[in-house]
Structure 1
Amino acid sequence: MNLLPKLVTLWRNHPEEFTPKRMCKDITSGLVVACVALPLSIALAIASGVTPEKGLLTAIVAGFLISLLGGSRVQIGGPTGAFVVIVYGIIQEFGLSGLLTATLMAGIFLMLMGLFKFGAFIKFIPYPVTTGFTSGIAVVLFSTQINDFLGLHLTDIPSDFFAKWNLYFHHLSAVNWETLAVGLLTLAIIIFWPKKWKALPGSLAALIITTLAVKFAHLDVATITSTFGSVDSTLVWPHMPGEITLATIKKLLPASLTIAFLAGIESLLSAVVADGMIGKKHRSNMELIATGAANVAAALFGGLPATGAIARTATNIENGGRTPIAGMAHAIFLLIMMLCLMQYIGLIPMTSLAAILFMVAYRMSGWRAFRALFKAPASDVAILLVTFGLTVAADLVVAIEFGLVLAAVLFMKRMSDVYQIKNMDDDIFDEVHQKDDIDTKIITHNVSVYEINGPFFFGAANVFVDSLENHKECKVLILRMRSVPAMDATGFHALESIFNSCQKDGVQLILSHVQKPVLKTLEKYGFIKRLGKDHICKNIDISLMRAESIVSGRQHFLE
């Protein structure tokens, strides 16, 4: 697997991608994406419980590195809605320094995952699990913005989902109607803003219009400055978030693994979506390394966890971005905006940011995909609902753990249902009657044939053992294994148990048509030597001839 950044290989192998005309398109796309990322980064930072500049710093530092080092042509990185709930919870429990340390650790884990080529394994996470927790995060994110959208001015809002909504319902009489009106205006502008005006995205236009309206109409609406005080635009030098001890690492390990897991999944999902839009292939392991480096850098600059952002990546593609130059340009434009516009950012109404996050939550929810999954088998629906419900009612870590465990258990159940072992005596003996070189009477009375269909793994081991309880009635037991592609340790243990039982009862065991992967497993365990090479036959005809020679006492055997 190539661990070179996509930018490097494009520069070496495709210099035509870096002509002035092509780069102009990428830089223009970067500017448009920066306009989209500016309000999102601010809103996501505030929703996460930190000041606005930390969201911008994350988008600048992490966004630049994900494009510079990543394995995708068009990936745009930065803070995303998926992290809001996690980040807020970590800050509440461990403070900002704890979040930065956890983000730093997560970055290291991500780089190790990429170096050890775990990119392909993350793709095996079941679709109902990712859909369930993504939709759950969207619902939780939506619920966190009700206070600002309605202008309730509540403090000490509980983290529990149901307790939070109970508090909202008991304070609906305190709604600030001016705040609600500004929030609804923001939503209307975002929804109905003409898509052809790509140079000015709807979310940025909504912020500008509502900020001017609140400022000059002197509306009683909370702003960033009135809520957080003055916004700091000072750039900080990279520094360690605090003293990192073994005790700190142990304490923050679950949080850091959660960040790494979610960042890896979201980054690769975004890259896969981008591949489909441009008809190219990304390098999953390099993408993990880049995301890890970006999170380490974001933590050192005092920022938030970062990953590939699907909405911003799609915006980049739609505006003509085709090389990592676009993502790097987006980060540079954000830096310029931060230095030049920070004094005005404090005037943005909090309800407008809440409205923007409502739209983020709506897009994250994937309600169409959620609804479509109800047409899937009942096991997939169960995984979806369990993961979704636990994300909302408990937390993301518990949801993913239970979702994956349930998916694994139901998968094993499904595979066990597919797995079959059936007695083939009638079918085989019908064939034997047509053969002149086999004694029909001997085979019919002394040999039993079973065929195994499906992978021989631990979920199927009990089925196998239960099906062969009656082997004592024969002198030779033939297991036809042409449809067994693989065998795990538990499957081998079941086979060994049958072999030991056969030996005890004086029954000879023959394996027919064993596939190479299974044969290698048996060789590693030394089972072939115990069974005898002449008891492993190439096909059922040779197996029957071998069985006849055993029963009759004749030792001739045709290979």
Structure 2
Amino acid sequence: MNFSFRPKLLDCLHDYSRAQAGKDIGAGITVGVLALPLAMAFAIASGVSPTAGIWTGIVAGLLISLLGGSRVQIGGPTGAFIPIVYGIVVAHGFVNLLGATLLAGALLLAMGLARLGQLIRFIPVTVVIGFTNGIAVVIFLAQIKDFFGLDIAQVPAEFFERLKVLAAHAHTADLPTVSLSVACFVFLLFYNRLAQHLVFLRRAPGPLVVLIVGTLFAWLLELPVDTIGSRFGGIPQELPSFGMPAVSIHDFGKLISPALTIALLGAIESLLSARVADGQIDDRHDPNQELMAQGIANIAAPLFGGFAATGAIARTSTNARAGGRTPVAGVVHSLTLLAIVLVAAPLAAYVPLATLSAIVMVVAINMGEWHEFRELRRFSWSYRIILLVTFFMTVLFDLTVAVELGMVLACLFFIYRMSDLTRIERRVLSSEQLGPQLCHADGTPRVAAWQLYGALFFGAVNKLEELLDPRLGHPEIVILDMQRLIQLDTSGLEGLENLYEQLAKRRCSLLLCGLNSQPMSLLTRSGFADLLGKSSVFIDLADALSHARRALEAKAQLA
């Protein structure tokens, strides 16, 4: 296995021009400004401070751009991580979240080094749609507390407990908070339509406009609503301290499962984002390099107080639309975030949490592929089951369990379909093919030929048993025409060996013909071809019938 570590940035610098530099800088500033409200909103929704979200965007975003395998990938905290991170914080605390992120980074780095980037694409689209829509619902529900200003100290991470607590505190809804939340939500939901009629809004990111307008309204009207300053004390106007998280060695065992969840989701979302970006800029990303960059970024972010990061589809698409074509745009995006923190951090204290919750709710609505539910009737029942089971398991229980169950169901349905496609049909031999030597005196054939279709594997090997049905007669030679058999596994091989042994007990010979390369290779390596003998493996059916004719003639002469 050849090791390769070559960031996309190196390829882009060969013919880098001043004109492209201007486009990248403009796109990077645009995305950096867009990333500010999203980083704070996603962090607060995840149960951590907005400072952690911003530094995740700065550190992880910088490393993903410098070391990644995509030209335009923008990294940072994303909405998909909200239910996962929130659950880890509630169950294990913020320090252990940093430890889980470090472990996830190591796993992602290992996946990239092992060149497993292409394997992520094997996850069926039904599973991806199911957990994406499920995460969107979980994110939406997680914002109800801040959206309505409910007086709840801690919202449970578990679905049913969360609904119970929200319902019990519904009467504590705060009118000023609800008014501001609804106004920001409606404004952002219809922002794109509004921007079509107002020219000055077309180039301004919707979340940033809502953040500024919502903050101004709350400040000018002196609305009694929670802000970043009242809950978190604002955002420090300084660089964070650098160091390893104070995670006990005894805690690492319980962090393995959360780390696996972060790594799995990070790999899926980053490579999905890179693939979407490829279509926008007509390029092809390196999935293994991207996973290595994601791993390094998630190892580094916790050292600066950040948490889980991955490729962000919305910000990456914005980067491509704004003219970014190289990782330089991603670097500028991170530097823009850094400049905002160092210059304008005190202003963040006035940002209402209601405005941020409205932004996250709209993100949740936009990230879900809701049209897939309307189109379910067009697809097979197996497609519907996999998608719906993954969706409900994500909402009700856990993303890891949902993906695992979705993959198991997908595999089972695939095995069922492949088994259904595998057929063994009896070939009707003409009188010219048989001749007098291959028939008994009463005209019944002494030779039976069968055609195999598809794949003879563990899910279909039982179909060989019908060849031993006594109602089909007792031929002296059985020929298996395997010209249309494309795959044979060890279970199928064992089935052929059992068939050979059962036929031998009946004094019946087994002949094979028309073997393709993969089945022939397995038969040769296993020694079964030697057991049959070269005189029992033929090029085609005609050749096998000729041999059967000669064998029966020789048998008649000996008798």
Q: Report TM bin, short chain.
A: over 0.9
How many Å apart are 1:437 and its aligned residue? 8.2
CA separation of 1:438/1:54 partners in 2, compared to 1, >3 Å: closer, same or farther?
A: farther
Deviation at 1:534, TM superposition (A): 1.8
Answer whether contact 1:412 1:459 (CA < 8 A) is retained. yes
Q: Which moved more, 1:223-232 or 1:27-36?
A: 223-232
- Structure 1 unaligned runs (5+)? none
Shift of 1:161: 1.9
- Aligned pairs for 1:278-293 within 5 A: 278-293=281-296
- Once the two structures are superposed, residues 340-364 of structure 1 have per-residue CA deviations (whole angstroms, 9 ceiling, x without a partner) of 1211112111111110011110112
What's 1:355 paired with?
A: 358
**8 Å CA contact 2:136, 2:365 repeated in 1:** yes
Structure 2 distance, partners of 1:484, 1:253, is 43
Task: Please list the CA deviations of residues 141-176 of structure 1 after superposition, one character each: whole Å capped at 9, or x if unmatched.
Answer: 100101111111222322232332233334333221
Displacement after TM superposition at 1:286 (Å): 0.8
**Contact 2:438/2:447 (<8 A) preserved:** no
Distance of 1:318 and 1:27 partners within structure 2 = 13
2:239 alignment partner AA = L
- Given residue 11 of structure 1, which amino acid in structure 2 is its aligned partner? L
The alpha-carbon distance between structure 1 residues 292 and 228, as it changes in their structure 2 partners (threshold 3 A), is same
CA distance in 1, matches of 2:253, 2:169: 40
Tell me the TM-score normalised to structure 2 length: 0.94
Q: Is 1:9 the counterpart of 2:7 in the alignment?
A: no
Task: Note the alpha carbon deviations across 1:394-416, whole angstroms, 9 max, x for none.
Answer: 11111111111111111111111
CA apart distance, 1:339: 1.3
2:335 is aligned to: 332
Of 238, 244, 250, 2:242 maps to 238
The CA RMSD over aligned residues, in Å, is: 2.0
Residue 141 of structure 2 corresponds to 143
Number of residue equivalences: 546
Distance in 1, Cα, partners of 2:93 & 2:165: 25
| CA distance in 1: counterparts of 2:487 and 2:248, whole angstroms | 45
Mapped pair 1:524 → 2:522: no
Query: What SS does the aligned partner of 2:26 have?
Result: helix
1:65-122 deviation digits (Å, cap 9, x = unpaired): 1111111111111111111111111112221221111111111111111111111111
Report the CA distance between 1:554 and its aligned residue. 6.8
Is the contact between residue 131 and residue 370 of structure 1 (CA under 8 Å) also seen in structure 2?
Answer: no
Q: Which amino acid aligns with 2:317?
A: A
2:405 aligned with 1:407, yes or no? no
Over the matched positions of the two proteins, sequence identity in percent amounts to 41
Residue identity in the other structure for 1:294 = A
Amino acid at match of 2:11: T
Shift of 1:472: 6.8
Other-structure match for 1:503: 504
Are residues 1:448 and 2:433 paired? no
* Counterpart selection for 1:319 from 293, 312, 322: 322
- Which residue type is aligned with residue 164 of structure 1? R
- Distance between the aligned counterparts of 2:374 and 2:303, measured in 1? 41
2:214 aligned residue: 210
Equivalent pair of 1:35/1:200 in contact (CA under 8 Å): no
Aligned partners of 2:529 and 2:548: how far apart in 1?
Answer: 17
Map of 1:113 onto structure 2: 111
Q: Distance in 2 between matches of 1:437 and 1:449?
A: 15
1:469 is matched with 469
Q: Give a deviation string over 1:465-489, Cα, whole Å, max 9, x none.
A: 3454347711111111111111122
- Identify the match of residue 347 of structure 2 among 340, 344, 347: 344
Q: 1:371 to 1:294 in 2, by over 3 A?
A: farther
SS in 1 for 2:301: helix
| 1:264 aligned residue | 267
Q: Give, in whole Å, the separation in 2 of the partners of 1:552 and 1:434.
A: 17
Secondary structure, in 3 states, of the residue corresponding to 1:455?
strand
- Alpha-carbon distance in structure 2 between the residues aligned to 1:548 and 1:222: 92
CA contact (8 A) 2:56 2:301 kept: yes
**Contact kept? 1:57, 1:303, Cα under 8 Å:** yes
* Residues 1:367 and 2:370 are matched in the alignment: yes
Query: What is residue 36 of structure 1 aligned with on the other side?
Result: 34
Q: Is the CA contact 1:38–1:334 (under 8 Å) kept in the aligned structure 2?
A: yes
The AA in structure 2 aligned to 1:504 is K
The verdict on how the C-alpha distance between 1:468 and 1:263 changes in structure 2, with shifts beyond 3 A counting, is: farther
> Are 1:122 and 2:120 an aligned pair?
yes
Matched, 1:303 2:303: no
Task: Choose from 45, 48, 54 the match for 1:47.
Answer: 45
Per-residue CA deviation, residues 351-379 of structure 1 (Å, 9 max, x unaligned), is 11110011110112111234334421000
Q: Deviations over 1:44-63 (max 9, x none)?
A: 00111110011011111111
Counterpart in 2 of 1:200?
204
* Aligned counterparts of 1:269 and 1:203: Cα–Cα separation in 2: 23
Instruction: Tell me, yes or no, if the aligned pair for 1:472 and 1:507 is still in contact at 8 Å.
Output: no
What CA deviation, in whole Å up to 9, does each residue of 1:196-243 have, x standing for no partner?
A: 634421111111111111112111111111122333343234321135
Q: 1:240 to 1:374 in 2, by over 3 A?
A: farther
**Contact 2:480–2:512 (CA under 8 A) maintained in structure 1:** yes
Corresponding residue of 1:177: 175
Secondary structure of the residue aligned to 1:491 is: helix
Deviation at 1:124, TM superposition (A): 0.7
Q: Is the 8 A contact 1:141 1:361 kept in 2?
A: yes
> In structure 1, how many angstroms separate the alpha carbons of the residues matched to 2:292 and 2:445?
64
Does the 8 Å contact 1:53/1:233 carry over to 2? no
Alpha-carbon distance in structure 2 between the residues aligned to 1:248 and 1:172: 36
Paired with 1:93 and 1:173, the residues of 2 have a C-alpha distance of 27
TM-score under structure 1 normalisation? 0.94
**Deviation per CA, 1:435-465, whole angstroms, max 9, x where unpaired?**
5988453695211111111111111112233
Secondary structure at the counterpart of residue 445 of structure 1: coil
User: Counterparts of 2:151 and 2:38 in 1: how far apart (Å)?
Assistant: 22
